[in-house]
Amino acid sequence: MDNVTMNGSNMLFWHYMWLSGEVVNLHFSRFFNLSLEKNVSAKDMILGIKVEGGCWSCRRTLFIWET
Q: Among candidates 32, 37, 29, 38, which has minimal Cα distance to 54?
A: 37
Q: What's the whole-number mean pLDDT along residues 1-8?
A: 57
Number of domains in the chain: 1
Say whether pTM exceeds 0.85.
no
pLDDT of residue 48: 72
| Torsion sign across C-alpha atoms 25, 50, 46, 5 | positive
pLDDT of res. 40: 86
Q: Whole domain around residue 37: which residue ranges? A: 3-66
Cβ-proximal residues to 53 (8 Å cutoff; 6+ apart), any chain: 36, 37
Write the single-letter amino acid at 26. Answer: L
More confident residue, 37 or 60: 37
Provide the pLDDT for residue 2.
44
Render pLDDT for 11-31 as a digit per residue (tens, 0 to 9).
Answer: 898 898 877 788 989 988 888
Q: Summarize the confidence of residues 37-64 as an average pLDDT.
A: 70
